[in-house]
Amino acid sequence: MPLRVIVNADDFGLDDEVNAVIVRAFQTGLISSATLMANMPAFEAACELAQQPTLAGRIGLHVNLTYGLPLSRAIRAERRLCDAQGGFDLQLRQRTLRLSPSEREAVRQELDAQWQRCLAHGVRPSHLDSHQHVHNIWPVGDVVARFAREQGVPVRLARNIGANIGPLKRVFKTLLNRRLKQLCAVTADHVCTPLDLKHGLAPSHGVLEVVAHPSALDRHDFGDAYLPPGESLVQLLDQHLSGVERVGYAGLGDR
């Protein structure tokens, strides 16, 4: 299979500035999808913007367990997940292998609350990923993947392309991604950041998802949080993915 690429912008709904950048990135064809934060201040505005033809069907849920206030109640009592005031304060290590039954149920309820808020505002998420990659924590990923399967949508794999992925991390990511694939459909075969592309690590086949956090450089260009200040995301994608088909998630759900 020749290489195809999904460029997904995380953090839609974070604030008005992020919303404006993401909409413009859609309009220029820079990105092919975005993921929505259901508990952030600009969420409702993002849902209105998501009705535009350019965005329709290309908006997923950016599962958030680390920033702001939860939308459900049970998770607020879990001290490894929230602080004493009920705000998100995730205390799970990256290599955590187990959640207690009450923690697991609380994560499930919060995930459902975020999903339902999207539906209530006219957006049915096309896919799932997570803020600060929390579904790369094994037991959280298990909950997210099972939920994705129930909803019939794919989930993002753990980043599996990068110069800084050492042998032990590679083994962990391989096992985690294998587990995610057992539980649900996935968005792509390969996952990387713009910085990984800069290092010349683009694969030659399959579907690649580029995890982007675009920012405005000027009216016609974009930077990215993963790149040095002032460096062009547009030029980077043109340089390393020239001629590669840019796709969304339509038709990829049965992968």
How many domains, in total, are found in the chain? 1
Which residues span the domain enclosing 34?
A: 4-185+200-246
The per-residue pLDDT for 249 is: 63
pLDDT digits (tens, 9 = 90+) for 133-144: 999 999 999 999
In a domain, 104, yes or no: yes
Name the packing angle between helices 138-151 and 167-183 (round to 10°): 30
The residue count of the chain comes to: 255
pLDDT digits (tens, 9 = 90+) for 19-36: 999 999 999 999 999 999
Sorted by sequence, the CB contacts under 8 Å of residue 170 that are 6+ apart come out as none
In a domain, 253, yes or no: no
In a domain, 193, yes or no: no
pLDDT digits (tens, 9 = 90+) for 231-244: 999 999 999 999 89
In a domain, 254, yes or no: no
> How far is CA 61 from each of CA 1, 102, 172, rounded to the nearest angstrom?
28, 23, 25
Write the CATH number for 90.
Answer: 3.20.20.370
In a domain, 169, yes or no: yes
Beta carbons within 10 angstroms of residue 203's beta carbon: 14
In a domain, 192, yes or no: no
Q: What's the distance, CA 62 to chain centroid?
A: 5
In a domain, 255, yes or no: no
Q: What's the pLDDT band for 131 if we cut at 50, 70, 90?
A: very high
In a domain, 45, yes or no: yes
pLDDT digits (tens, 9 = 90+) for 34-91: 999 999 999 999 999 999 999 999 999 999 999 999 999 999 999 999 999 999 999 9
Locus of tokens 């919060």? 110
E strands, 110-243, in order? 128-130, 190-192, 207-212, 214-216, 222-224
